[in-house]
Structure 1
Amino acid sequence: MTTSLEELLPGTRRALLHRIAVAQAEGRAPSLVAAVVRGGRTVWHGARTSVDGHAPDDHVQYRIGSITKTFTAVLVLRLRDEGLLDLGDPLEKHLPGTGAGEASIADLLAHTAGLAAESPGPWWERTPGSLRPELSDVLGEQPQLHPVGRCHHYSNPGYTLLGALVEELRGAPWEEVLRREVLEPLGLHRTSPQPQAPHAGGWAVHPWADALLPEPLEDLGRMAPAGQLWSTTGDLARFAAFLAGGDDRVLSAESVREMRTPAAPAESADVADGATYGLGMQIQHRGGRLLVGHSGSLPGFLANLTISVEDDVAAVVLANCTSGPLLGAVGADLVRIVAEAEPRIPEPWRPLREVDPAVLELAGQWYWGTHAFALRVRADGLLALGPLTGGGRRARFRSNGDGTWTGLEGYYAGELLRPVRRPNGCVSHLDLGSFVFTRQPYEEGAGVPGGVDPEGWRGIAD
C-alpha cells in the first residue's frame, strides 16, 4: 500500500503526530508506530523512536496478540457462508470430545461459551506451546466456569477451539488455511505466525526505572488462533479496510457487518463504557462515536485496531512493550482527530436509475399509532424507515423480490415488511412484524389491531 502524507491537512497531521508522541513518551514505549486509514487506504503514518536504529515504517512487524482472534473469526464465518456449519451448531457436532461441546460456535465467537479466560498451568503467553500439545491441555479438567450463553466472559481457550474447528473442517493447519484464504487474497504479505525481519523486539519496561528487560518470544502452539500473529501497520490498514467494507474474495460486506454487530452483552466492568462484543470484534461507543475493532497484547507487545465505519476512518497503533500506553484510547483519539478535523465528504446524491411505481407508492409518511414515520426509497434500492422527528426505531429494508422487504439492522433486523393491498390494488397499510403502519393515525378500515372507535377522533367537553 502506498502511503500518502499529503492527503490530510498539515494541522491534522501535526495533531496525529502529537497524540502518538504523547502516548510514547508518557507510556514509555521503546517504540510506537501508527497509521490512519481513510477511503480504504493509508493516509497517514507516524512513528516514535526506533527499531534496529531506524524509525519503524509500515513494513516493520510487531506482535498483534488478540487481533489474531478477528482473523480466526473470519475463517469461521467463511465456513458458515460455504454451508459447512451453522453458527447455532454445538461445537460437539463438528469437533466432538472437547469437554466444551455444548457451546455453540456463535457462543465461542462472542465469548459467551462460559469457558475460562486462560489456559490452566503455567502462564501460556510466556511458556512454549509444546507444554500444551493437545486441546485437553488447553482446556483443563473443568473448562466451564459459567453456564453456556448466560454471560460474556472473554476466553482465549475458546478461540483455540475455533482454530481447531477450522483445521477439522478444512483438513489443514490453521496457519495454512489463514494464509491461503485471508492473507494472500487481501495482500497481507507481512502478516505471519512467526516474526519476519524487520521486526521489533518485545520489551518489559521497569515500572520505577527507565530500564528494559527483553521478553521471551514464544510460539503459542495450540493457542496460536487466539494470539500468535505478527503484522505491520501497512497490513493492518488493509485488514481494517476489509473489516469496514468486506471483500467478496474473503467475506461479503454483509458477513463482516455481522461480525461488527453486538452478539454478547458487556461484562459488568465495561457497562459504563458501552463496550460489547460481536463475532470476533470488540464494539464500543466512545464520545458519541461507534467504534469497532480489536485490541491485542502479549508479553513485550501491545496492539490496537479501531474503526469508525460511519466516519470512514480507521487507526492502527502498535508498540513493543508489555504495558504502558493505552493504545485503545490512542486509536480512538486518532479516529476522532481525523473525523472532526476533516469530516467525511458524503457521496454525491444521485437519483434512481429506474422508478418502480409499486415501490414508489410506499414512499412518504406513515403512522404507527400516533407516531409519525417517513419511508424513503433510496437510490441503492433499499427502503429506509425512520421517525419524522426525535428518536425512534430506524432501519433499512432489502427487497425479497416478491413485494416484501426484510429489515437489515436494529430492532427490525430480519423482520418482514409487507405492504397490504386493497382489492383494487392500492396499498391499505404496512405490516411490519405485526405492527400496522397507516397513512393516517389509526386510519379507519386499515386493519388496525383492536379496531378503531367508530365515533372517531373527538374533543372533551368542559
Structure 2
Amino acid sequence: MLPATRRALLRRIAVAQTEGRAPSLVAAVVRGGGPVWSGARGSVEGGLPDETVQYRVGSITKTFTAVLVLRLRDEGLLDLGDRLEKHLPGTGAGDVTIAELLAHTAGLAAEAPSPWWERTPGSLRPSLGDVLGPHPFLHPEGRVHHYSNPGYALLGALVARLRDSTWEEALTREVLEPLGLRRTTTKPLAPYAGGWAVHPWADVLLPEPAEDLGLMASAGQLWSTTADLARFAVFLMRGDDRVLSADSVREMRTPSAPSSPGELGEAYGLGAQQWRMDGRTLVGHTGSLPGFVAALWVSEKDDVGAVVLANCTSGVPTGSLGADLVRIVAEAEPRVPEPWRPLAEVDADVLELAGPWYFGTGVVALRVSAADGITLGPLSGGGRRSRFRPNGDGTWTGLDGYYAGELLRAERRPDGTVSHLDLGSFVFTRQPYEEGAPIPGGVDPEGWRGVPQRDVTSA
C-alpha cells in the first residue's frame, strides 16, 4: 500500500469510530491473496486492539455454515434440491429445499419465537421445534426472499446430522483448521472485546450480554479477528481445495434471489450477500449481535477484500464502511493486470473452434486464453458472455453468465470438420445462416439476396 492509501484507510475508520461512537473498531484489507493493511481505533481493556483481538461476527457465521453445506453437496451426501425431510426428518419444515434455506427463500420467519434469541441463552430453545415455533412459515415456499435466522439453525442441525458430530466440531475440523483460522471460535478466547450498548443521547455505555446461542449458533455464534477473517476473505475469492473448490465458492457468490426491500445488498447467493456500490460488485456478509457489528466484503474484479469489526450495538454502518475500504484501495491503486503469457499447450481440436461464430445474424467470438480458458461472448461491449470448463469428453460446461450450467459441444461432419456449435439448443455457425447447417426452421434455398424489385407498369 502506498502511504497515501494507508492514510486514507486510517482516516476512514477513524471517522467511522468517532462518528459512530464505537468503544473500538478494527479493520483489515486483503489483496493479492494476503493482508496488505490493518488498522484500529479506540481501546479494548485500555489498549489499542490489534488483528488478534476477537469480536463477535454475528451473521458472517452463516457464510461459514454455507461452506459446510456445500462440502456435503460436493461429497455427494446431499443435493441442493433435496427436501430437508430427506436428511433431517421431523422438523416441521421438511418440505423446503436445502437451496431455499441457503438463499433465504424457504418462507420461514426471520426470528425464533420470543424471548429475543440474541439476548437469551440457547437453553431456552432446546429443540428445533422451539427454534421454529408453532407457525414457522410467513411466506410461500420459494416465492420470496425473506431473511431467516431459524433457517440457518436448520442447516446447522443438518450438518450435525450428516457428520454425526456437532456443528461446531464439523466447522473446526473441516473449515477453521484447514484455513488456519485459529482465532475463530464459538466461545471467546482472550484477548477479546466486550460488547457494549452506547446511549443514543449521552456518551455512556452499558454492557451487553454474550449468550451461548445453542441451536441458533450456526446462524450467528462465531467470534473472530480481522486476521482470521482476512484469510477467509481470500478464500471467498479464490477457494481452497482443502475446503471448497473455486467453482463451488463461485456458486456461493452467485445470486440466487433478490434481497427484500430495506435489506443491505441487492441479492443473496448461497450464504453470501451481494451488493452493488460505486459500480463494483461486492460479495460477503454483514453481521450483528447485541454489542457487536461486523462486515466482510470482497470484490473479485479488484482482487480486494475488507473486514470491519466494532464492539457497539449500533452506530457504525459496517456494511458501507467495509465497502468504502474496498473502494479506497481499488481507486487509489487500480489493479495491475497479470502479464500476458501464451498457453503452455493447446488442444488442436479446441484451437480449431477459436474465432467468430454466428447465432442467426449476431456475431460472437470463441476465445481460448491462458487466463480464462474458453469463453464465448460478444466481440465487444455488453451481451451474453460465459466461461466454460472442459468435461474431458469433447464438451464444455458454462461456468457463469447466461450459459452457466449449459452444455457446449462441437458437432462434426462425417469427414471430421466442424459443422456447428450446439449450446443449449442454440446453433452457432461459421457464417450467418450457413447453407447446409442444421438451423431450426431451415434456410431459404435461394439464399441471401438484394431488395426485390417489383415490376412497374404504366397506368
**TM-score of the superposed pair, with normalisation by structure 1:** 0.95
Residue 253 of structure 1: CA displacement? Answer: 1.0
Quote how far apart the aligned CAs of 1:78 are. Answer: 1.2
1:311 to 278, 302, 306: 302
Aligned-pair distance for 1:381?
Answer: 7.8
Q: Deviations over 1:168-194 (max 9, x none)?
A: 111111111111111111111111111
Match for residue 182 of structure 1 among 164, 175, 183: 175
Q: Distance in 2 between matches of 1:221 and 1:356?
A: 54
C-alpha separation between the residues in 1 aligned to 2:223 and 2:265? 29
Q: For residues 10-67 of structure 1, give each alpha carbon's deviation from its aligned partner in whole angstroms, at most 9, with x where no partner exists.
A: 1110111111111111111111110000112110001111111111100000000000
1:406 and 2:406 correspond: no
Structure 1 residue 434 corresponds to structure 2 residue 425? yes
Provide the secondary structure at the position in 2 that maps to 1:303: strand
Which ranges of structure 2 fall in alignment gaps of 5 or more residues?
454-459
Deviations 1:394-444, CA, capped at 9 Å, x for gaps: 001112222221111111011111112222221121111111111121121
Deviation at 1:265, TM superposition (A): 2.4
Provide the C-alpha distance between the structure 1 equivalents of 2:191 and 2:118, rounded to a whole number of angstroms.
22
Correspondence 1:455 to 2:446: yes
**One-letter identity of the residue aligned with 1:88:** G
Report the Cα distance in structure 1 between the residues aligned to 2:204 and 2:285, rounded to whole angstroms: 29
Distance in structure 2 (CA, Å) of the matches to 1:260 and 1:343 = 23
Q: Which amino acid is the alignment partner of residue 11 of structure 2?
A: H
Q: How big is the shift at 1:380?
A: 5.6
Pick aligned residue for 1:276 from 267, 276, 279: 267
Partner of 2:46: 53
Q: Which residue of 2 aligns with 1:18?
A: 11
Note if contact 1:381-1:398 (Cα within 8 Å) is conserved in structure 2: no
1:461 offset after TM fit, Å? 5.7
Q: Counterpart of 1:234?
A: 227
The CA distance in 2 between the partners of 1:136 and 1:25, in whole Å, is 43
State the SS of the aligned residue for 2:38: strand
Counterpart of 2:33, as a letter, is G
**1:245 and 2:238 equivalent?**
yes
Determine the C-alpha separation between the residues in 2 that align with 1:322 and 1:57: 20
The share of aligned pairs that are identical, in percent, is 76
Which one of 330, 340, 344 corresponds to residue 335 of structure 2? Answer: 344
The one-letter code matched in structure 2 to 1:138 is: V
Which of these residues, 70, 77, 81, is aligned with residue 84 of structure 1?
77
Counterpart AA for 1:49: G
Aligned to 2:311: 320
Secondary structure class of the residue paired with 1:177: helix
Checking the alignment, whether the CA contact within 8 Å between 1:205 and 1:212 is kept in structure 2 is yes
Structure 2 contact 153–218 (Cα < 8 Å) conserved = yes
Residue 119 (structure 2) pairs with residue 131 (structure 1): no
Q: Are 1:193 and 2:204 an aligned pair?
A: no
- 1:395 counterpart (369, 377, 386): 386
**Unpaired segments of 5 or more residues in structure 1?**
1-7
**8 Å Cα contact 1:282/1:294 also seen in 2:** yes
Question: How many angstroms apart in 2 are the aligned matches of 1:37 and 1:147?
Answer: 40
Q: Secondary structure at the match of 1:196?
A: coil
Residue of structure 2 equivalent to 1:375 = 366
- For residues 245-283 of structure 1, the C-alpha deviation after alignment (integer angstroms, 9 at most, x for no partner) is 11111111111111111112221445xx86111111111
1:53-108: CA deviations, max 9, x gaps? 11110000000000011111111111111111111111111111111000011111
Residue identity matched to 1:42? P
- Deviation for aligned residue 1:320: 0.4
Tell me what 1:104 maps to: 97
Runs (4 or more) in structure 1 with deviation over 6 Å come to none
- Number of residue equivalences: 453
Once residues 419 and 437 of structure 2 are traced to their aligned partners in structure 1, the CA distance between those partners, rounded to angstroms, is: 6
Distance 1:193 1:175 in 2: 7
Distance 2:372 2:63 in 1: 31
TM-score normalised by the chain length of structure 2: 0.96
Partner residue, 1:4: none
Q: Match of 2:457?
A: none
Q: Secondary structure at the match of 1:73?
A: helix
